[in-house]
Structure 1
Amino acid sequence: MDLLSDHLVRARATGAVFARTVAEPPWGLRLGGSIQLSVHTVVRGRGYLWLDTPGSTVELIPGSVTLVRGGVNHYIGHEPGAECLEPEEFRARHTHAGPADNPRATVFLCGAYRFSGDVGGGLLDALPQIVTLSAADDDPLREVITLLSRELVRAEPAQQIVLDRLLDLLLVLAIRSEFRRGATAPRWYRAAADPRLGPALQAMHENAAHPWTVPELAEISGLSRAAFARVFREALGQAPVQYLTEWRMTLARDHLRADDLSLAQIADMVGYSSPFAFAAAFRRHHGDPPGTWRHRERVAAGARMLTTHPGL
């Protein structure tokens, strides 16, 4: 499994909310910053998306996909600066909109994704606040958008399952395209393409529990120890052992949040000889022992579940 696949699988992206809307002007929708990642595509007609900051407006047209990273509110409407309603009020007002073939209507699709843990957070942090992708004729992204458009024309059995799967494909292709072309791609993504570093990174990600040493990683990469350490630091901004430790801590945090594994099980999975060694390393990095950290995170997650909902 390549590194991007590894991150996406561990992030466990889910289509938490999905909506297909037909709206006639005037229309506008406000979406809160609690949505981790929003995906918007116009199937028919056009619209505009903007943030609260000046100069942030982008046009939404068929054949393009726009991603919005969470943290700030964003708005979509029939024109820039249109009056925007909260999701529940918007749905109530446009429930009885005309048919999708109405020449005045805009048909658009919104997906709101959640990502698990710090692996997913790292993927999102690498994206710009707004990403607009326009697919070339031979780009798989265009084919997925076309399939989405066709699927939305009429109701069919199991349509929600088809749309969820197509949205998953859309998200993966969009992230891959942005990382491939973007200066904001994570360092690990660019380093994985370097034949001097890719094999060592792959090894660390595939088996974080292995007691890797710099000479062993250098041998995998076909470099001397000194050359490997130098190239690694230049590409990733940290020493190989530091990178491995950070990756182990990232995996540990996600296990502590999401699983009911014991500390001994997590220690074994992320490369520590005992729960005591794991707890000591975790405390050095986070200031608290893993059990205390787990309890605090779960209490905070429960509070967030009660107070936030994308509500598309």
Structure 2
Amino acid sequence: MKELEVPFFSVIVPVYNKGPHIKRSINSILNQSFRNFEIIIINDGSTDNSLEEILKFKDYRIRLFHRIKPGPGASPARNLGISQAKGEWIAFLDADDEWFPYHLERAYELISHFPDVYIISCGWQIKLKDQIAENAFFKRYKKYKLMKINLTFYLNSCLMREAPICTSVALIKRSSPICKDLFPQVIKRGEDLFAWLKMLCFHKEMAWSNYIGAIYHTDSVNMLTQKAPAPYELFRGNLINHLTIYLNEKERILFKKYINYLKKEVLIIKLWVEIREPMKKYLGMYTDIIFRVLIKLIKLIPTSIIVKFIK
């Protein structure tokens, strides 16, 4: 990309205390085979050496913005990045993840094949220490090169724990009517899940390609750990239910089923965080067996009762 050229992609990277990893993430963007992009880095009030590491890069495509007060969550930073984006399409990369060099090139090919879509994604790898795995949706559908995913397909895949999208492989078209403030700023967890769900509810479909675009690092600092809270806030007020205004009656039935599933998943996370470790002190090696039985029982409990436990 020449200095005065309008970028095709705007890559948004929110950064909060990711000093050990931000260099890796930025380099993975700069090493892209597709060159027409800008990088929008939002320093979200970092108190470590993140800013120092960012300033070492002198590439003219990097635009740096600062938020003095961090959070809550990454939503305000991502929304700020969206408001400053110049590209036709907006890509997201978490500061502790990284892209493969061909990611934007393959994304461009997917967009060219489906010019009418507003959200796209691909496969990704999950890395935990020395172990690497492909995400479940990719493993099931990697024999298909390019495909459209409608809302029904999306929700059913999520119900099978096979979501076709995560933040570091998500790209959205900037001209989408719901692009502004896409990420809800009233919650700290689950804001990305909400954003992609909102895009699918509104636009009804997305496009997907069978390549691995990113590595999702689960062992980095500040990652969601066993001590982190579950995304309870998704179900407070009318945040999630508000999305039903975009749905027809048939879609609402499946949507409700998915939301009930999410509520039970949140309770399982809550129990894992708050109960599993204390249980180990008394039950030792039997803890995981008992916990698996507990999870099966939770799935049989009516959602109306589940809600009382996640408030």
Q: Give the shorter-chain TM-score range.
A: under 0.3
Larger radius of gyration: 1
Richer in helix (by share): 1
TM-score under structure 1 length normalisation: 0.21
TM-score under structure 2 length normalisation: 0.21
